[in-house]
């Protein structure tokens, strides 16, 4: 990055938008057999694959990554902790628990849940599970004042809800195969219903988060300073935790457990620019969308015709980046 880009966030935003457009073109060109562009080909089968399978999967992957990137930026700002991510409060395993309960009740796999009603139900179950986990974590931590207590409570709640999900799979082994794909992360079940739902929730979450961006800037100075500046800490925490839980629950309900996107995206933005939260939030969302879409394209392309679980790929790449960052900046 040049010094000019490092000072101004707008060029980074344009770069991320261009990367999004390029990856969308690449996403619709990569199929089950690798790189096989279908535009310009005649035939109903090619058109159906392009418009009904590849395009919604590409757009849905971007929206899911954008939701995780946004939730990560909100979490790091709210808890004033650069290691915070959307899963900090156990929201991911809580969402997985809610989805597993709904799948048992429906007797359905993610493949069968392709309509609007089923997708809204999955997202609602994921949101309810995420909110429940967040509330339990906050109750154990007695608020968000003590970072160490909050981290420990989040780890405990995450392990407990993860154990609940495993117990459900043990009791109902018929859903184990479907839940395995869900827990490893996959974008293979995304359709136009998912795209519409994720897009709507992303727009709503981003609007609310940006509305509280000045409060996040004030919180970065400390809660005492923020309160002296007139920030209503209670309502701000409630609104931002709701945004984080909704964004995480919606993304997890549609694509499963995707690792490191919410943690890495804000770090990459801060490495390029030093923005206020009014810029950090949308830039982190753009970065999260680019990261997950790039991982999805690689997951489809690397071992074609076999497909890697996208959550495994993001874990390897994200973990490698954080290890490099730790080596570069030892603490």
**Dihedral pair phi/psi, residue 111, rounded to 5°:** -65, -40
What digits encode the pLDDT tens for the residues 292-319?
Answer: 999 999 998 888 788 888 988 898 888 8
Residue 121 lies in a domain: yes
Which residue, 291, 244, 246, is CA-closest to 265? 291
pLDDT at residue number 145: 64
3-state secondary structure 228-239: HCCCCHHHHHHH
The number of domains in the chain is 1
Rounded to 10 degrees, the C-alpha dihedral 60/65/68/74 comes to: -110
19, two tokens: 């990367």
Please state, in angstroms and rounded to a whole number, the distance separating the CA atoms of residues 131 and 246.
8
Residue 11 lies in a domain: no
Which residue, 291, 298, 284, 297, is CA-closest to 259? 291
Residue 1 lies in a domain: no
Domain residue limits at 127: 34-328
Q: Which of 9-13, 45-49, 255-259, 268-272 has the lowest mean pLDDT?
A: 45-49
Contact 85, 75 (CB under 8 A): yes
Residue 48 lies in a domain: yes
Contact 36, 297 (CB under 8 A): no
Q: Provide the CATH number for the domain around residue 60.
A: 1.10.3470.10
Residue bearing the bigger pLDDT, 63 or 226: 63
pLDDT at residue number 213: 93
Please state, in angstroms and rounded to a whole number, the distance separating the CA atoms of residues 210 and 212.
5
Average pLDDT over residues 11-19: 94
Average pLDDT over residues 132-148: 78
Please state, in angstroms and rounded to a whole number, the distance separating the CA atoms of residues 119 and 108.
12
pLDDT at 2 over 50: no
Residue 18 lies in a domain: no
**pLDDT confidence of 40, banded at 50, 70, 90?**
low
Partners of 102 in beta bridges: none
Please state, in angstroms and rounded to a whole number, the distance separating the CA atoms of residues 287 and 293.
10
Residue 24 lies in a domain: no
Residue 173 lies in a domain: yes
């Amino acid at each position: 990055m040049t010094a000019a880009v490092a000072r101004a966030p707008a060029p980074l935003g344009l770069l991320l938008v261009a990367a999004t457009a390029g990856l969308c073109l690449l996403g619709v060109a990569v199929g089950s057999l690798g790189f096989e562009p279908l535009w310009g080909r005649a035939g109903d089968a090619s058109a159906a694959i392009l418009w009904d399978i590849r395009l919604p999967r590409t757009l849905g992957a971007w929206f899911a990554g954008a939701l995780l990137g946004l939730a990560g930026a909100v979490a790091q700002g709210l808890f004033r902790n650069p290691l915070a991510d959307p899963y900090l409060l156990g929201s991911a395993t809580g969402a997985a628990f809610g989805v597993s309960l709904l799948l048992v009740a429906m007797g359905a796999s993610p493949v069968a849940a392709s309509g609007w009603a089923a997708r809204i139900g999955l997202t609602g179950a994921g949101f309810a599970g995420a909110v429940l986990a967040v509330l339990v974590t906050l109750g154990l931590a007695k608020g968000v004042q003590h970072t160490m207590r909050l981290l420990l409570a989040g780890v405990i709640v995450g392990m407990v809800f993860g154990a609940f999900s495993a117990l459900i799979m043990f009791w109902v082994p018929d859903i184990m195969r479907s839940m395995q794909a869900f827990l490893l992360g996959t974008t293979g079940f995304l359709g136009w219903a998912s795209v519409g739902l994720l897009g709507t929730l992303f727009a709503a979450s981003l609007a609310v988060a940006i509305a509280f961006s000045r409060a996040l800037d004030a919180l970065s100075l400390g809660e005492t300073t923020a309160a002296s500046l007139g920030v209503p800490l209670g309502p701000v925490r409630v609104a931002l935790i709701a945004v984080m839980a909704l964004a995480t629950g919606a993304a997890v309900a549609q694509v499963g457990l995707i690792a490191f996107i919410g943690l890495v995206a804000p770090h990459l933005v801060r490495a390029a620019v030093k923005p206020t939260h009014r810029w950090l939030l949308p830039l982190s969302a753009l970065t999260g969308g680019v990261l997950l879409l790039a991982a999805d394209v690689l997951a489809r392309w690397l071992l074609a015709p076999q497909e890697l679980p996208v959550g495994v790929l993001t874990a390897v790449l994200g973990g490698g980046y954080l290890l490099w960052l730790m080596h570069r900046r030892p603490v």
